[in-house]
Structure formats: C-alpha cells, structure tokens
Amino acid sequence: MMNIRNIAIIAHVDHGKTTLVDKILHTARVFRDNQDTGDLIMDSNDLERERGITIFSKNAAVIYNDVKINVIDTPGHSDFGGEVERVLKMADGVILLVDAFEGPMPQTRFVLQKALQLNLKPIVVINKVDKPNCRPDEVHDAVFELFFNLDATEEQLDFPTFYGSGKNGWFNDSLTEREDILPLMDGILKYVPEPKVNEGPLQMQITSLDYSSFLGRIAVGKVTRGSIKESQPIALVQTDGSIKKSRVKELYVFEGMGKRKVTEVVAGDLCAVVGLEDFNIGDTICDAETPEALPVISVDEPTMSMLFSINTSPFFGKDGKFVTSRHLRDRLIKETEKNLALRVEDTDSADSFLVYGRGILHLGVLIETMRREGYELTVGQPQVLVKTVDGKKHEPYENLVVDVPADFSGKVIDLVTQRKGEMLVMESKGEMQHLEFDIPSRGLIGLRSQMLTNTAGEAVMAHRFNEYKPWKGIIPGRNNGVLISKNQATTTAYSIDKLQDRGSFFVDPGEEVYVGQIIAEHIKPGDLIVNATEGKKLTNMRASGSDDSVRIIPKIQMTLEECMEYIQDDECIEVTPKIIRLRKTLLNEEERKRQSKSMKA
C-alpha cells in the first residue's frame, strides 16, 4: 500500500497559494521539461485568471520520494468560505501561507479556525520574503499569537515554520535563500501525518462535485475507512437520513493535474466516483450491507440576498440565448447543487427568484458566469439578511481591516464611522496604518469604491462575517442622484456635450439607450430626466461659438460588482452577455411618481 499525505493550502487572498502549488507541481516533475505550462496552473477557469483569484477549490496529486501527496488548493475570499470548509474535510494537514509584509489577515483567521477545529496539523509558510519592508520575524510572532487566540492545542502551537518566495521558487526552514523548495517538500512528509484509517466497512463522504459532459456528475471525497471497488454495490446515505442503493461504475484517483482510472481505492486516498445518481455534497457512500453515515458538513449561513428576474428592458433578447424565467430557474437550481453557500427561493412573481449568498463577490461571480454562458437577467440591489432575536431586529456585522498610508487614515475612519462602523484597533505597520473596525454588513455595500477614491487607490481592505447584532439604524446611501434617459434612441455627442456639466456619464455618444435607463450620475442629490439623443439642428449659417468642436469626457466604466454596490433600492442592473446597463426598476416616470406617493402615504 502506498504512503499518502493529504494537504490543503490555506491563506488570505493574494498571499500566493496558487503560485506555491505551481512550484510543488514543477518540483515533482509533473510536466515534461519542454512543456509550457504558464503561471497559476490551477486557476483554470477564465474568471479566475482574469481576476487573479481562486474561486473553486481544486485537487492535484504529486509523487515525491515514493510518497503520494494530494494537494488541495482552496479559495482565499470569505465569500467562498463554504468551499474551504468542506474541502478541509479531505485533508490531514494544512499549509498556512502568510505574506511576510501583511501578516495574518481576517481571512487567514477564518480558514485557520476551521482547520484547527478539525484538528489538522499546521505547517506555517511565510511567503514573499523578497518584498521590500517585509518583516518575517514580526509576522511569525503574529501568527503564533493568532494560533494562541484561536485556542490551538499545545501540539498545534508547536508548528514548523518555513520562509521563502514562491515567485522566486525557493522555500527553506531558515531565511537563507536557496535554489528550490525541497526543504518544504521534506517538511510535508515529516510533519503531516498519514491519513487516519478506521477499521470497518466502506465509508466515504462526498465533499465536492466534478462534472464532465461525457461522464455526468462525479462525486469527489476521501475514503475514510474500508476500500471502494469498481462495480461495487453501495448504499448512499443522504443528509436527510434516507438511503439509496447504487453501484460504482468507474473510479479515478488524482494524478498530476488530471485523473487516472483505477479498480480499487483504499482508505486514506482521495478519489472520484462515477455512476451515482442524485447525490449531494455531504452525502456518505457506505457499504451496501451496513450503511453508516458520517456527520453532515455544516456550512455557514448566507448573509446577503438579491432578486434575480428575467430581463424586462426594451432591448431584451438581443444578445442572450437564455431569456425566459424557466431558463433562469433551471440554471439557479443547478448552481445550488455544487455551490453550497447559495440558496434560491421562489417569490410571488413567477419571473423573479430570491438568491441568497455569502457576499457581493460570491453573487457577482455567479452573475458573471451566467452572463458568459448566454443568460440575460435583471438583478436588484443586494440586501442583507435580517433576523429577529428576542423580538428585536438583528443584522450581520463584519470585521473590517484596512491598511492605508498614514496620511489617509483620517479619511478612512471618517468614511467608516459615517456608515456606523466602530474602530477597534489602530496601529502602525511601517509607513502604513493598520485599522480594524466592527461594521454592519450594510455599511460595506458601496464602501470599497468610495474608499479607493478617497485614498488615491492606496487602501487595502478585507472583511469577514462576524456575528448578528442589534440593528444599527439608517445608514446613508449614495449622496448623488442620477440622470435618466427621456427617450429611446441613439445618444449624440452634441447632447452629451451640453449635459456634461450636469453629471458624469456612463454612456458614450452613439450608444442605444431607452426610457428609464440610467445614463449618468447627477452632480446633486435627486434624479433628473434628460434628453441625450437630440441631434444638432443643421442650417447653412455659420455661427461663431456654437460651432466649436465638442469635447466629450470618456464614460465611466463600472465592473459588475461596482454596479451592484452603486444602485439604490428603486434601481436594478440589466445584465446581458455583451453589456451591463443600469436602469430604474420602473421605467415609466408616471409609475415611479405614483409608487413614491403611495410609499409616503
């Protein structure tokens, strides 16, 4: 039987997890010497490559010194925490990666807490020691303090530490630079325990899903006891306790970046099972004769909801392939099968669905993925979930961490306190100020863009869900109103030029607009209906002054997440495969006036 080590790599976003996995794959010679692999091999999804973040956890396996190491690369954003929690179940040890300048960040704390609760053996790797101003020794002390605050056991506190630079391709157990990452590879073999194997018949929990258009849905997990064989009859114990009989068609183990077909997998190894029907994450695959379920995986609750509806604008169906409510419903239900932290509920209207997620990024990635697949939809303003505890309204609060140059710290504190945030910590880290706040989740919506504007793009902010606390009262929304298109036509440079002193435009000349579309931000509070489609009246008389060439400021380009943070409750976003437009929910001005009167009454 082969020696096995299962290890997950956890860290805050951008601390270098995927780069480290690249180095492990190269060290174990998974690729031929002349094979061009590029960087960030594990981030295979287009969205991941564009944003430079990991969204889906992935598996790879390498052989080093005759030991098989299963490596699990996990996401770093708290919005994908649901993904991290369940894949940690497959690991026996974790590599905690920490940036040598930033030190432990909120997300480091979140994933480390989960790993310590599962009693996984930690190895700390302090990455990016080649950065200027880095402080590896201070960071090491901060990591120790974090372990201590998270009630780590004596054994967990005695963690080995490695230093290095993933980008330059070296890791060592001291700060001496070298050519390779062999000390870290040896450390994995030395410190990560072999999988604990219990005696008894087969048990395997499904911790993630894979999909292949050829094989259908594939169950991935770790065999915790017994062994699983090809064509073996099994019992599938579902999370609600019901038991289904099934049969294993094919078995695969991970090898390099891909999978290899095998006839049997023994306890301790990770495998992919083909041929099961109607299974979900958290179900247990057991021996057909003696079905015993493993404890169900619990995933943190969603904290935010958004209304997804069909596209009702005058331009619907121009770009997308899937435009009906049935298409939308089927796609959302399919997403909940593999995206554990997502929930979908029907509403009073057959055309709209309430979608619950872990944050703006979590929902934004879903919308962006759907739009690339050819869906058209309208999404409303993100709303936080409110609970009633002892008859009082409670809302989610988050722990917000901001690192910013000292000159801008006053502006940051001012911005966060306006949004009902309370400062907990303020300390200097070199030339940067490190600020920590307790803030309602509502206060974070739209905060990032304002903060970057006020700090000349220097602020680095990170946040994670903390707990539900009493409602904090009204938080001021956007200060400025918007300019709304009066008619449906093509915008002209002549009209936009005349309106530029009224606001900043989201459209360029020559774009098609419709009644009720938001085309610019007003310079004052309150909305204004404008005509941006009027052409210049042509005469054969020349006039000095009116014939100056028009000078148009380029339009403001907003990403999907920025749009989600920008809109107010009477507005929504029209998302199609080619374009993202902002609009009023009610396009007709008379209807909007009627509704605002009835709201006041």
DSSP class of residue 13 equals: T
**pLDDT above 90: percentage of residues in the chain:** 13
DSSP class of residue 223 equals: E
**Other CB atoms closer than 10 Å to residue 294's CB: what's the count?**
19
pLDDT at 269 over 60: yes
Q: Which pLDDT does position 300 carry in this prediction?
A: 66
Domain extent listing, the chain: 3-191, 203-287, 387-470, 482-563+583-600
Matching fold, domains 387-470 and 482-563+583-600: no
CATH class of 387-470: alpha beta
Q: What is d(CA 576, CA 518) in angstroms, rounded to the nearest whole number?
A: 16
Q: Which pLDDT does position 77 carry in this prediction?
A: 58
β-pair partners for 517: 583
Q: Which pLDDT does position 198 carry in this prediction?
A: 74
pLDDT per position as a tens digit, 412-470: 999 999 889 999 988 887 777 888 899 998 888 888 878 888 888 888 777 777 788 99
Q: Which pLDDT does position 106 carry in this prediction?
A: 67
Q: Which pLDDT does position 546 carry in this prediction?
A: 55
Q: What is d(CA 56, CA 86) in angstroms, rounded to the nearest whole number?
A: 12
Q: Which pLDDT does position 43 carry in this prediction?
A: 41
Q: What is d(CA 180, CA 170) in angstroms, rounded to the nearest whole number?
A: 5
Spatial contact of 356 and 302, defined as CB atoms under 8 Å apart: yes
Classified by CATH at the fold level, domain 482-563+583-600 comes out as OB fold (Dihydrolipoamide Acetyltransferase, E2P) (2.40.50)
CA-nearest of 168, 95, 159, 96 to 128 is 168
**Other CB atoms closer than 10 Å to residue 548's CB: what's the count?**
8
pLDDT at 277 over 80: no
Domain 3-191 superfamily per CATH? P-loop containing nucleotide triphosphate hydrolases (3.40.50.300)
Annotated binding-site residues for GTP read: 14-19, 127-130
Annotated binding-site residues read: 14-19, 127-130
pLDDT at 355 over 50: yes
pLDDT at 14 over 80: no
Quick one: pLDDT band at residue 103, thresholds 50, 70, 90?
Answer: confident
pLDDT at 56 over 70: no
Instruction: Look at the block and give the residue holding tokens 């008379």.
Output: 590
Q: Which pLDDT does position 573 carry in this prediction?
A: 93
pLDDT per position as a tens digit, 497-554: 889 999 999 999 999 999 999 999 999 888 999 998 888 877 776 665 555 667 788 8
Upper half-sphere CA count for residue 276 (Cβ side, 13 Å):
30
CA-nearest of 93, 99, 109 to 20 is 99
Element of type H or E holding 274? strand 270-274
Q: Which pLDDT does position 208 carry in this prediction?
A: 77
pLDDT at 298 over 80: no
Mean pLDDT of 220-227: 84
Mean pLDDT of 27-51: 47
β-pair partners for 205: 222, 284
Which residues are CB-neighbours of 145 under 8 A, at least 6 positions away? none
Spatial contact of 223 and 212, defined as CB atoms under 8 Å apart: no
pLDDT at 490 over 90: yes
Quick one: pLDDT band at residue 49, thresholds 50, 70, 90?
Answer: very low
State the CATH architecture for 203-287.
Beta Barrel (2.40)
Q: Which pLDDT does position 529 carry in this prediction?
A: 92
Q: Which pLDDT does position 13 carry in this prediction?
A: 67
Stated pTM of the model:
0.75
**Other CB atoms closer than 10 Å to residue 1's CB: what's the count?**
8
Paired sense of beta strands 121-127 and 93-99, if any: parallel
CA-nearest of 231, 333, 354, 329 to 280 is 333
Structure tokens at 438: 């307790």
Q: What is d(CA 217, CA 214) in angstroms, rounded to the nearest whole number?
A: 9
Mean pLDDT of 266-283: 81
Calculate the CA dihedral of residues 238, 241, 246, 252 and round it to 10 degrees.
40
Q: Which pLDDT does position 480 carry in this prediction?
A: 86
Q: Which residue has the higher pLDDT, 371 or 11?
A: 371
Q: What is d(CA 468, CA 22) in angstroms, rounded to the nearest whole number?
A: 39
Which residues are CB-neighbours of 381 under 8 A, at least 6 positions away? 306, 564, 567, 568, 569, 571, 572
pLDDT per position as a tens digit, 59-102: 778 888 888 888 887 765 555 555 677 778 888 888 888 888 88
pLDDT at 394 over 80: yes
Q: Which residue has the higher pLDDT, 286 or 106?
A: 286
Spatial contact of 288 and 234, defined as CB atoms under 8 Å apart: yes
The CA R_g of the chain, rounded to the nearest whole Å, is 27
pLDDT per position as a tens digit, 163-188: 888 878 888 888 888 888 888 888 88
Q: Which residue has the higher pLDDT, 330 or 151?
A: 330
Three-state SS for 333? helix
Q: What is d(CA 585, CA 570) in angstroms, rounded to the nearest whole number?
A: 6
pLDDT at 44 over 60: no
Quick one: pLDDT band at residue 109, thresholds 50, 70, 90?
Answer: confident
Q: Which pLDDT does position 270 carry in this prediction?
A: 84
pLDDT at 359 over 70: yes
Mean pLDDT of 210-214: 72
Q: Which pLDDT does position 41 carry in this prediction?
A: 43
Mean pLDDT of 348-367: 87
β-pair partners for 244: 236
**pLDDT above 70: percentage of residues in the chain:** 89
Q: Which pLDDT does position 547 carry in this prediction?
A: 53
